[in-house]
Structure 1
Amino acid sequence: MPDRIAPGVRLLLCGINPGRHSFEQGHHYAGPGNRFWPALHAAGITPGLWAPERDVELPTLGVGLTNLASRWTRAAAELEAAELQRGGQRLLGRVAELEPRVVAVLGVGAFRIAFARPAAQAGDRLDARELVGDATLDLRPGAEVHVLPNPSGLNAHFPLAEQARLLRRAALAAGLSLQPPRGGRL
C-alpha cells in the first residue's frame, strides 16, 4: 500500500495496516465498513465525503497517509508485535524527514505495542521526542503524536462522532484550515 505523503504535510495519519479491500483496490481505508472517510468529513478535514480513491488528494489538504505495517490482514490482531515495533521506528523516521506538526496513530492497541506504551488511551497526546528510543534520530521540537481509535468497522464500539472529534482536534493542532464540522458541534 503506497504512502500518500508529500513535502509539507502538516498532519500525518498513520493506520495500522491495510485490510483486504484496501490492498486489492490500492487505496487507504477502502473497506465497506470502515469509518475513516465519514470521520474525516465529519471532522471538517475534507470538504465532502470522499471515496477511498481520493486518498491521493489528501496531501493537497496538508494531510498524509501511512501505515505501521504494509502487509494486509483480515484483522490487525494478526500482526506480530515485532512488525508493529519496526513500523513505529519507521514512522518516527518519516516524522524526522517530513516534519509534520502532528502525527495521529489510528489504533490504540497498535500504538501501545509499537511504542511500548501499554497504558496509552484514545485521546492521548505526546511530544514525538518522548517516543524516540534511538538517540540518533533528530525530531523537530513540538511535533505532537495523537493516539486515536482505529476507524475499522471491527472497532464499531467507538462512536463515529468521537472519532471525528479527535481527528478534528489533531487537524487543528496541525494548523489545518478546516470546514465546519458536519453533524453539529464536535
Structure 2
Amino acid sequence: MQALADVISSGLRVLFCGINPGLMSAATGHHFARPGNRFWPALHLSGFTPRQLRPDEQAELLTYRLGITNVVDRPSARADELTRAEYVAGGANLVQKVLHYQPEWLAVVGVTAYRDAFGERTAHIGKQDRLIGDTRVWVLPNPSGLNAHYTLPKLADAFAELERVS
C-alpha cells in the first residue's frame, strides 16, 4: 500500500495533520475516508467549511485555505501499530513540510501523536507554545470513531475554537 498524497499548498490558513492513513484512506486515496471518522462533520460543524465535504472532495479544502497531511505516512489499521521511531521521524518530516509551505497554523489531530512526534510529554488539546518558523501549533482531539471520549458536538467545539482564532 502506498502513502497518501497530501492536500497542501502555500498560503494555507490551517494545515490539518492526521496521525497516519487508515487502510481505507490508503485504499481510496482520500484522507479520513473511514465512515466512522468524524473529521469531515467536525470540520463543517465548526465553521471551517460551508457544507460537509466528502473524503473524495478533499481537494476542495484548498479553496478554503485548508490542507491535510499526516505525521506518519505508513498506512495501518490502528495508530497503536506505529512505532515511536516512526513518530519521531514523522515529526521531523512534518517540521520540514511546515517550514516549506508555511501555513498560519498546524493542527495535529491527536494529542498522543503530537506528544510522541515532538517529545512534548505534557502537551494538551489547544494552542501549543511551539512555533515552527512562523507557524503556530494547535492540537485537536483525534476524530476517529474509536475516540469515544469526544462526541461529535464536543469534537466540533474543539475544532471551532481553532476556527475562531485562525
- Same structural fold, with TM-score higher than 0.5 when normalized by the shorter chain: yes
Task: Specify the alignment match of 1:162 in structure 2.
Answer: 154
- Larger fraction in strand: 2
The residue that corresponds to 2:96 in the other structure is: 93
Match of 2:64 among 61, 68, 92: 61
- CA–CA distance in structure 2, aligned partners of residues 162 and 93 of structure 1: 32
TM-score (normalizing by structure 2): 0.93
Answer yes or no: is 1:18 the counterpart of 2:21.
yes
Q: Would the aligned equivalents of 2:10 and 2:103 in 1 still touch at CA under 8 Å?
A: no
1:132 maps to none
Structure of greater Rg? 1
Query: What runs of 5+ residues in structure 1 fail to find an aligned partner?
Result: 130-138, 175-186
Superposed displacement of residue 7, structure 1: 1.8
The correspondence of residues 1-186 of structure 1 with structure 2, limited to 5 A, is 1-129=4-132, 139-140=133-134, 143-174=135-166
RMSD: 1.2
Distance in 2 between the 1:22 and 1:15 partners? 11
Same amino acid, percent of matched pairs: 44
Q: Distance in 1 between matches of 2:5 and 2:163?
A: 22
User: Structure 1, residues 18-77: CA drift from partner, whole Å, max 9, x if none?
Assistant: 111111110000001000001001001111111100111111100010001111111101
Secondary structure (helix, strand or coil) at the match of 1:96 reads helix
| Per-residue deviation, residues 84-111 of structure 1 (Å, max 9, x unmatched) | 1111111111111111111100011111
Question: Matched residue of 1:48: which SS?
Answer: coil
Return 5+ residue gaps in structure 2 as ranges. Answer: none
Offset of 1:127 from its aligned partner?
3.2
